[in-house]
Homo-oligomer: A and B are copies of this chain.
């Protein structure tokens, strides 16, 4: 199949640093190539891919301090895709609402994956007023926040099977992984680990926007038993996660997906997560981790971690959250859009 993947230009594909959307686009693109498809990736020129790269902009916008207008380059991106649309069987967009009007009036079928939260009040009238976009949600929870949306499927994210592998390690701490921000609740993680008498390691970056929160709320809570080790990269993650008894995910917001949960599972590491957003769709309570409602339950769950089987967690990751499964889900959608509307099956979600 001739497939166009259209990524945002904010980060390279894959991102040099943090960048959820571009990372997932990379996983999907490479997996589709590995499955023998003819894939073209529209992305920033510093992207790295085995697909054909259409470098719409020389480098990722977020790393270029001189870029003040980020909409313009995206308009150029869409124009390039529009000019080449007939070269493809399917156009898969990852740029929110920006492609809807332009691609509603041409014949190549389109799919748009929604990567962000959909509960912003300004999004509702936008999506309802725009033409049919064949939206794909990344979790049922995300989709439920916008029931009127034109969704044709839900496709959970996936990771390449061998990206993060379990490593032999003696588990002697619990892990917090991601960003230090109020909705991620690192404060809860610190209190939970402390109450359980287990050391906590926070592998997390502090964004400029969260510097004040970090300085006033989190930094004073740190200590020898709650250590901030900074941001870690893909290569360090397996070791960091494999040596953790469990990953703490005490979130306080409707996280639409939460890649970190499947990163932990890929390493066989249980996840103890608060019941928000996509958590119950990703964590299988009593199998790949525990779903809790408060800090006391989280402390109790930590005591039950030894009852979980890390090999089984890894197996569940491969079954449910591999990039191959994600790519196959999307291929089913692409194929459903190539057959006449009346025969179209809702194959996923």
Contacts and interface: CB of A to CB of B under 8 A. Distances in A.
A130 interface: yes
B67 A122 contact: yes
Given A73-B126, A79-B129, A101 B98 contact: no
- Identical copies of this chain, number: 2
Contacts of A80: 129
A102 interface: yes
Contacts of A121: 66
Given A69-B126, A76-B126, A101-B102, 9 more contacts: A66-B121, A68-B122, A69-B96, A69-B120, A69-B123, A72-B122, A73-B122, A73-B125, A79-B129
Contact of A130 (B66, B68, B79, B98): B79
Interface in A33-68: 57, 66-68
A71 interface: yes
A249 interface: no
A190 interface: no
Name A's interface SS.
helix
Contacts of A98: 71, 75
Interface in A81-125: 82, 96-98, 100-102, 105, 120-123, 125
Given A68-B120, A69-B123, A120-B68, A75 B130 contact: yes
A100 B126 contact: no
A115 to B, nearest CB: 13
A130 B82 CA distance: 11
A264 interface: no
Contacts of A69: 96, 120, 122-123, 126
13 contacts: A69-B96, A71-B71, A71-B97, A72-B96, A72-B123, A75-B98, A75-B100, A75-B126, A76-B125, A76-B129, A79-B131, A82-B105, A105-B105
A208 to B, nearest CB: 15
A76 B129 CA distance: 6
A78 interface: yes
Given A101-B102, A102-B102, A126 B72 contact: yes
Interface string A116-150: 00001111011001110000000000000000000
Contact of A101 (B71, B75, B96, B123): B75
Nearest to A70: B122
